Chain A
Amino acid sequence: MSTQEISLEELRQRQSRFRGLEAGHRACLGCGQALAARWVLEAAGPDVVVANATGCLEVFTTPWPESAWRVPWLHSLFENTGAVAAGLEAALKVQGKTAKALAFAGDGGTFDIGFQALSGLLEREHDVLYVCYDNEGYMNTGVQRSGSTPHAAATTTSPAGRARLGKRHLKKDILAIIASHHIAYAATASIAYPEDLKRKVRQALLITGPTFLHLHAPCPLGWGHDGSLSVEVARLAVQTGLFPLIEMERGQVIGVMPLRTIRPVADYLKLQGRFGHLFRDDPRAREELEHLQALADHNIEVFNLRADRPDPADSEGADTVRRGRRRF
């Protein structure tokens, strides 16, 4: 293998869309995280340095001696991504470099084991964009529950059985915790709304200081849906109100993506094997369904998600081609 030196400007011209994460990596079919990371880097461009937590994204992109990354990229450990990114940023700053430090981690590396390093990163106001790719569980180790796994979802460590109906606890409200650090910008995004996602990355990168992007990225393997449905499932999470798309400045909500059609949570849940037990003929299952609907309704009220006008960033339907009675 030989490498060739070209300027960043030249690279930008060669690729109308910058591909920081190349094709040919080993992600599963329909991996939400792979799609998300590609779009994040497409929006961020090549002048970045990435610190990546241990997890699927790290494993499927870098089986030695191959790498799918076209940006400088460092994987250290699982729980220290916030701190490694802080070190990158400190070094870039001392050298007077323009490159932006990015931190990539999954929900386990963000909500749970990497939480302390993330909080330190935000508190010390490092100029880092932290992207949490949330697939709601420890998927790399075989689908275990995390602090981000939604209530009632079945995982290998919160299985559904006769006595239990999946995870007993609620999904941690990470954005509220991020908000209480009063950072300049934090947002949620979804792979179902790529233009919105990319706009939020660009918005975050305009800011000097810590910014946070919470990115909902379905995992077909862990969620139990067909790989071709990843975008559909992600879109339903938004449309049901379970994963509202919002933006925050200094901890205050400054924008939400309004929902044109609000869908019942059952539409989202029934596509996924991890919620299959909620559709049994069982009064407790019905109760859990009602509970999840109530959580979605709560989000819709709290964030005022009901649309009275179309949102310019709402690309719903724009990526769907209809031929005959089938959607592509």
Chain B
Amino acid sequence: MRQALEGSQAIAQAVALCRPGVVAAYPITPQTHIVENLAKLVADGKLKCELVSVESEHSAASVVLGAAAAGVRAYTASASQGILLMAEVLYNIAGLRVPVVLTCANRAVSAPLSIWNDHQDSMAVRDSGWIQLYCADNQQAVDTTIQAFRLAETLELPVMVCVDGFVLTHTLEPLDLPEQAQVDAFLPPYRFSRVLDPHHPLTLGTLVSPDDYTEVRYAHHRAMLRALDVIPEVDAAWQQITGRSTGGLIAVEGPEEARVGILTLGSVFGTLADARQLADAPVKLIHLRSFRPFPVAALQRACQGLTELIVLERAFSPGAGGIVGAEARAALMELEHPPRVHNFAVGLGGRDVPLEILERLLAATGSEPTRFAIFDVDLSRLPEEER
């Protein structure tokens, strides 16, 4: 049924439709509305689950780890400092191959303190071994959240659903919430192959010597690569039921014959799509839905025929440059005629990304490629010596 919902509320409803057994979370802006909405659903008797209001994000991640290992579907949400505090547990969950789902309401990382949106938090844990899916709008946030549970439980890998803080979490959008029957048909009851059960005692989380450590890491990497097949399969299965696709690994919009492409993640994609329509610009927009695993082949296909690729991201590695940009450049090196790559960071710490940005970006492709630059930096705001 089509309805206008705030992103956080829509995500909470989507989580509830997945019938989680345990939800654990610690409040942090801009994630709070998601958990508040879940708490209300529990209080109203609409969702039967154990809601554990923990004393830190480190414990939130630990509670869902324990719960999922003990046999129930488990969910948590966080952002920014919370993701960083969880980082140790995130690696642990992934290494133990426990299927939990986390919503990251993407927010900048302190210092300086900023509660506003960018992607530095999820990028900081890109190597933790979690699947990372980015959402361009709130419909995708709903659909991806539901898909995330099936993905996680199929692959026994945790999934982080990245949703732009405020831009999506606090914005009302018209969207379709699926029916319970649709979700039930799509998502089988929770199953974990190594569940902790006194009738079949198992030991989880052992000490592994150099004899086996490499092999465990290899198996984890293999599982992540297998997700490159499973993510589109799960998206296709969802499309069969609801008629909606979220693009699988990569979504492409715009004319096939375009020579200029823009690769981005999250809600900036929506801004660019609007700008492209308004200006009727011959640009191919590429949404990197799956950042982990990184879809090298799909990206190569999407970039066939491009002469210029602009990579736009909302985080970077100080002293190095773009994160997605570096990975995209490496992936495209293998093409016979790779496009020139222009890499920009935009929208850091909630800086607005206006519609006019498309025109300015396209103008930038006329000159020599920019290895990396912060696109919307206003040097007049800095003291002379720091410009």
Binding site for B on A (CB under 8 A): 3, 5, 7-8, 46-49, 51-52, 58-59, 62-65, 67, 69-77, 79-80, 82-95, 99, 116-117, 119-120, 123-124
Contact = CB atoms under 8 A, between A and B. Distances in A.
B46 interface: no
B22 A80 contact: no
Given A76-B89, A76-B96, A94 B55 contact: no
Contacts of A85: 66
Interface of B: 21-22, 24, 49-50, 52-56, 58-72, 74, 88-89, 92, 96, 196-209, 212
13 contacts: A7-B199, A47-B198, A64-B207, A72-B196, A76-B65, A76-B205, A77-B89, A79-B58, A80-B61, A91-B21, A94-B22, A95-B72, A117-B56
A65 B209 CA distance: 10
Listed from nearest, the 8 A-B pairs whose CB atoms lie closest are A87-B66, A75-B205, A83-B62, A91-B70, A83-B59, A120-B55, A67-B203, A80-B62
Contacts of B196: 49, 72-74, 88
Contacts of B50: 90-91, 93-94
Given A80-B89, A83-B66, A87-B22, A73 B59 contact: no
B256 to A, nearest CB: 49
Given A71-B198, A91-B22, A116 B52 contact: no
Contacts of A76: 62, 65-66, 89, 92, 96, 205
A123 B56 CA distance: 13
Most buried by B among A72, A86, A95: A72
B152 to A, nearest CB: 16
Given A76-B66, A83-B58, A95-B72, 10 more contacts: A58-B205, A72-B196, A72-B198, A73-B204, A77-B62, A79-B58, A87-B67, A94-B21, A95-B21, A116-B59
A176 B203 CA distance: 33
Contact of A86 (B66, B72, B200, B203): B66
Nearest to B63: A87
Given A63-B206, A72-B198, A90 B58 contact: no
Interface SS of B by simple majority: mixed
Nearest to A126: B52
A47 B196 CA distance: 11
Contact of B54 (A62, A92, A120): A120
A214 to B, nearest CB: 21
Contact of B62 (A3, A93, A117, A123): A117
A284 to B, nearest CB: 41
B90 to A, nearest CB: 11
A288 to B, nearest CB: 37
Given A69-B201, A69-B203, A76-B96, A86 B59 contact: yes
B232 to A, nearest CB: 31
Contacts of A117: 55-56, 58-59, 62
B201 A87 contact: no
Contact of B59 (A58, A62, A82): A82
Nearest to A119: B55
A70 B207 contact: no
Contacts of B212: 64-65
A215 to B, nearest CB: 22
Nearest to B53: A124
B88 A77 contact: yes
